[in-house]
Amino acid sequence: MGETSIDRDRLASYLTDAAPDWSRIEKIEQMKGGQSNPTFRVDTGSGPVILRMRPEGAPRWAHDVAREYRVLAALGPTDTPVPAVYHYCEDAAVLGGEFYLMEFIEGRIEDDNRLPGFSAEERAAIYRSYVQAYARLHAVDWRAAGLEGFGTTDSYVARQLKLHRKLFSEYCPEGIADLDWLQEALLERVPEQTRTGLVHGDVRMGNVVLHPTEPKVVALLDWEMSTLGDVYADAGILTVPYYMPPNPQGHLRDNDPAITGVPDMETVIDWYCEDMGLKEFPNLEFMILFNLYRYAAVNYGVGWRARNGMAVSDNGHLYGETAVPIGRRARAMAEAWLADGTI
């Protein structure tokens, strides 16, 4: 964690009336990791709390902390592991961006999918818990949870493809041939959405809190991209690390489960199907390609923000460098699957 520019006195003054339990502020530190909403640990007289805020001047589409707060409040009573939320401030004038306070959960966060520092047995157990946590999310009755109107329920994949094409074209007007080809090929073959639910939007190991000592997930984090949509498209993100080039989150292309304990992709998909009561994963190959396209487009945007002085972390440029190799590999996979009729 590092120093922060948040005005401690200003925050304390605001919280004195708005959330007095947390107004006696002793220390504020920005937490490392992530490429979007800045996250801070605020030590108070009542214990530590987490503050998440929208970065000043950033585009709203991927930085909507009000949505994060709403979905966390809705999931609190369910069996999806999430932190409790305490207060939301919509007045950007207080700190320079809207923000909310949530529970600080003691635990470990590991951004590298390879889980360095854990034993093979621990890695296997963590991945099993990780898959189960997202299956629990996808099984939530979103209407009963009070999330009616949280998003458009149909055509999730097509809308995502069009959104990311629009955003990518703003970052890269000249385009990237493989990604342009892939986007069109996917739009022509979007499968029917068969199960609508709450999607996280950024499923990855770095967005969970692991128990301080036990090999299990105790909380899912980073809900800025959550909405209603195709849960199988969301679950498809579980496959992405197995196809990614080297990047700050680690890749699993050369993973050997017998040595590392990290399961292979087929096992991860089997676990998800078991937890969801599925005989097979619907449209798996399409969902793999869809998520590789999303990752390439988003990573290019992360790199663009880094080059233009808008990075939240110091490794944003490394994400941007993955866009071209992701596109190249995904197109090759798509052409092979098209040739044999798989998609």
Check residue 179 and give left, alpha or beta (phi > 0: left; psi -120 to 50: alpha): alpha
Give the pLDDT score at 2. 44
Closest of 203, 104, 196, 93 to residue 150, by C-alpha: 196
> For the residues of 286-340, what is the DSSP string, one character each?
HHHHHHHHHHHHHHHHHHHHHHTT--SSTTHHHHHTTHHHHHHHHHHHHHHHHHT
Q: Which helix (H) or strand (E) holds 40?
A: strand 39-44
Closest of 216, 201, 119 to residue 160, by C-alpha: 201
Q: Is 224:68 a contact under the CB 8 Å cutoff?
A: yes
Given the structure tokens 């590298």, which residue do they identify? 112
pTM: 0.91
Given the structure tokens 């889980």, which residue do they identify? 115
Give the pLDDT score at 61. 56
Mean pLDDT per 10-residue segment, the chain (343 residues):
73 97 96 74 97 75 83 97 97 93 97 97 98 98 97 96 93 94 97 97 95 98 93 98 92 96 98 98 98 95 84 77 95 97 92
Q: Do the bridges between strand 47-53 and strand 39-44 make them parallel or antiparallel, or are there none, so unpaired?
A: antiparallel
Give the pLDDT score at 36. 65
B/e letters for 158-184, b = 16+ CB within 10 Å, e = fewer, are ebbbeebbebbeebbeeebebbbbbbe
Closest of 49, 58, 42 to residue 97, by C-alpha: 58
End-to-end CA distance of the chain: 45
